[in-house]
A and B are shown apart, each in its own frame.
Chain A
Amino acid sequence: NAGVMQNPRHLVRRRGQEARLRCSPMKGHSHVYWYRQLPEEGLKFMVYLQKENIIDESGMPKERFSAEFPKEGPSILRIQQVVRGDSAAYFCASSPPIGTADNNEQFFGPGTRLTVL
């Protein structure tokens, strides 16, 4: 059973370009979370999605950032017009449907390290 998959693992963009980060949850998991980690910091929650629904986006910057989790395919975190301050590691986590596990144990992917030049 493959774990959470993220790609690309490393992404380099110039200021003003767009970054697309992909996350495939573990098989059977229907909840996806995106977190951002700045250097020497802990992870900060960005957004929580279920299939075709954004449940909680309270951690998302109001502009340039968007996320989706379509019925088919991976979850996408999209950053438009990237700036140097967007350079960070972006982690995706998934968890099983509510009712199958009441612990909210989240399984993390290896992350995408975004560098903005």
Chain B
Amino acid sequence: SQQGEEDPQALSIQEGENATMNCSYKTSINNLQWYRQNSGRGLVHLILIRSNEREKHSGRLRVTLDTSKKSSSLLITASRAADTASYFCATDQAGTALIFGKGTTLSVSS
């Protein structure tokens, strides 16, 4: 069954704008991870946030986690055309398989 659900399904913005993607999940987790996938390519790990963390930063990325609402958000600041990709959240419940959402397709136009 699907654990993570990303919102929105698709997002189109201009270069320089911020992009915010949300992820909701259903059960308790050890951590939540965000991945990027360029069209037809593999997944690139962006950031991991543990269940006892509320916010994490990595470069232009900011991730928040609200375990009471079972939700997470990924913010990309000052977006670039190269950020165009699909973004997936994945939850780790038991330290084994990751459960992925369907992803948000981000399109950044110059």
| A-to-B contact residues, CB < 8 Å | 33, 35, 40-45, 48, 55-56, 58-59, 91, 93, 98, 103-111, 113
Decide: A45 and B99 in contact? CB cutoff 8 A. yes
B contact residues, range? 20 to 34
Q: Which of B2, B40, B92, B96 has the most CB of A within 10 A?
A: B96
Min CB distance A113 to B, Å, is 8
Q: Of B2, B42, B97, which is within 8 A of A59 by CB?
A: B97
Q: Of A41, A42, A105, A111, which is within 8 A of B42 by CB?
A: A111
| B-to-A contact residues, CB < 8 Å | 2, 4, 30-31, 33, 35, 40-45, 48, 50, 88, 90, 92, 95-103
- Cα distance A48–B94 in the bound complex, in angstroms: 12
Q: List 18 A-B contacts (CB under 8 A).
A: A40-B102, A42-B100, A43-B43, A43-B88, A43-B90, A43-B98, A44-B100, A45-B97, A45-B98, A48-B97, A55-B96, A58-B97, A93-B98, A103-B31, A104-B30, A105-B33, A109-B42, A113-B40
Assuming A42-B103, A44-B100, is B43 touching A104 (CB within 8 A)? Answer: no
